[in-house]
Amino acid sequence: MNPYKLDSTDWKILNILQSDAGISNIELADKVCLSPSPCSRRVKNLEQLGYISRRVSIIDPQKAGLPVTVFVQVTLHHQVKKDLDRFAKQVVDWPEVMECYLMTGDFDYLMRVVTPDLQGYQEFLDKKLTQVEGIEHIKSSFSLKPICYKTELPLDHLT
């Protein structure tokens, strides 16, 4: 277990960075009332501790030509470790799969898949998903429009 305990300034830094990863260190330091050098050290420390796993830019799927979002429920024949591992190993390599979760309940996996059109999703099913050994059932639900999409974790309880 790591002995370093984050303080309120660390949490403020994380909150700001998750909403704007491109903010300059000078701007960030100003917002958290630090000078640039200590602010930069704190950010590096947060990266080394694993609180910041990576920095990304969020691209609009519509503008990127990927307007179709499909939520896919996958049920395997058997929920044994080797089958679960095989499925997970294949899914991570598919660029269409934006998220995939091992679930409890009526199905084993929930995936969010993006494609340019319905034909693209059909090809994804035919060439990838249905080729995975051990799948018993696939249920697809097409998103009509996004209502809420967040990438920022609610950190207010920590500051």
- pLDDT of the residue at 99: 97
Give the pLDDT confidence score for residue 2 in this predicted structure: 54
Q: Name the helix (H) or strand (E) containing 111.
A: strand 109-115
Q: Which amino acid is it at 154? A: P
Positive or negative CA dihedral for 140, 146, 151, 157? negative
pLDDT in tens, the chain (159 residues): 457 789 999 999 999 999 999 999 999 999 999 999 999 999 999 999 999 999 999 999 999 999 999 999 999 998 889 899 999 999 999 999 999 999 999 999 999 999 999 999 999 999 999 999 999 999 999 999 999 999 999 988 876
* Exposure letters 113-149 (e unless 16+ CB within 10 A, then b): bbbeeeebbeebbeebbeebebbeebeeeeeeeeeee
Q: What is the largest CA-CA distance in the chain?
A: 57
pLDDT at 12: 95
- Rounded to 5°, the CA angle 54-18-39 comes to 85
- The residues near 83 (Cβ < 8 Å, ≥ 6 apart) are 76, 77, 134
> What whole-number distance in Å separates Cα of residue 146 and Cα of residue 71?
12
Q: Which domains does the chain have, with CATH numbers?
A: 8-48 (1.10.10.10), 68-142 (3.30.70.920)
pLDDT of residue 156: 84
Q: How far is CA 129 from CA 29, 78, 79, 153, in A?
A: 46, 16, 17, 30
> In 10 A of CB 44, how many CB atoms?
11
pLDDT at site 111: 98
